[in-house]
Chain A
Amino acid sequence: RKEVEQDPGPFNVPEGATVAFNCTYSNSASQSFFWYRQDCRKEPKLLMSVYSSGNEDGRFTAQLNRASQYISLLIRDSKLSDSATYLCVGLSGTYKYIFGTGTRLKVLA
């Protein structure tokens, strides 16, 4: 079993829709979590850190559920520019970043 698992998608949604991705992790020692966005042939870019209390940044909301060992990302009012691959990342200790293989999102006009 992979340490961080994501549904690869693609998730095809119309503009303006709300879409949610889940990511499960198996290492209960993971302390910190992040969502990254990666465009085709580009580097991953940090979208947001995920806090135990949940956090929101504009149209994006991230939640952490330690009991069930998953994190989620909710995107409201999807834009065409949100089309990308979203990577879920867990951190154990200080250096061990575990990356999911990503969920592909396509927002359709």
Chain B
Amino acid sequence: DVKVTQSSRYLVKRTGEKVFLECVQDMDHENMFWYRQDPGLGLRLIYFSYDVKMKEKGDIPEGYSVSREKKERFSLILESASTNQTSMYLCASSNDRPSYEQYFGPGTRLTVT
């Protein structure tokens, strides 16, 4: 069974704080992703990584950065948290051929006050 874990289920931070969200997968997947999910907007891609130390911007990268130093670990960093970054953050991993199936972690519900 694919397992994707995230460091926190719930997090409350203050405006201006630096926030780290960690994600670990145990299936040796090449690709890892960070999404945020907001009501009515669906899942939106923040960043993804297709290899160690490689990263690509998604649809909404502003205000975020990422780090992938090891294959199994992908971190999302909010340099200076703002209230509009209050959201559910979902990490996912996938492999390439043949299936491309993507698996999600349990999510981190972040509230910025």
A-to-B contact residues, CB < 8 Å: 32, 34, 41-46, 49, 87, 89, 91, 94-95, 97, 99-102
Query: Which of the 9-residue segments B13-21, B41-49, B60-68, B71-79 touches chain A?
Result: B41-49
CB 8 Å contact bits of B85-113 with A (1 = contact, 0 = none): 00010100000100111111111010000
- Given the complex of chains A and B, what is the CA–CA distance between A97 and B42 in angstroms? 12
Identify the interface centre among A41, A42, A99: most chain B CB within 10 Å of its CB: A99
A13 to chain B, nearest CB (A): 23
Q: Point out residues on B near A: beta carbons under 8 Å.
A: 31, 33, 40-43, 45, 48, 50, 56, 88, 90, 96, 99-107, 109
Instruction: Decide if the interface of chain A is mainly helix, strand, loop or mixed.
Output: strand
Bound-complex Cα distance A86 to B105 (A): 17
A94 touching B31, Cβ below 8 Å: yes
- The main secondary structure of chain B at its interface with chain A is strand
The smallest C-beta distance from A97 to any residue of chain B, in angstroms, reads 6
CB pair B102–A34 under 8 Å, yes or no, is: yes
A99 touches B43 (CB 8 A): yes
Q: Give the CA-CA distance A87 to B43 in the complex, in Å.
A: 10
How far is it, in angstroms, between the C-alpha of A100 and the C-alpha of B82 when the chains are bound?
Answer: 27
Please give 10 more A-B residue pairs, beta carbons under 8 A apart, in addition to A43-B104, A46-B101, A95-B56: A34-B101, A34-B102, A41-B109, A42-B106, A44-B104, A46-B103, A91-B100, A97-B102, A99-B42, A99-B43
User: Provided the pairs A42-B107, A43-B107 are in contact, do residues A49 and B99 lie with their beta carbons within 8 angstroms?
Assistant: yes
CA distance A41 to B108 in the complex (A): 10
CB distance from B47 to the nearest CB of A (A): 11
Residues in chain B near residue A91, CB distance under 8 A = 100
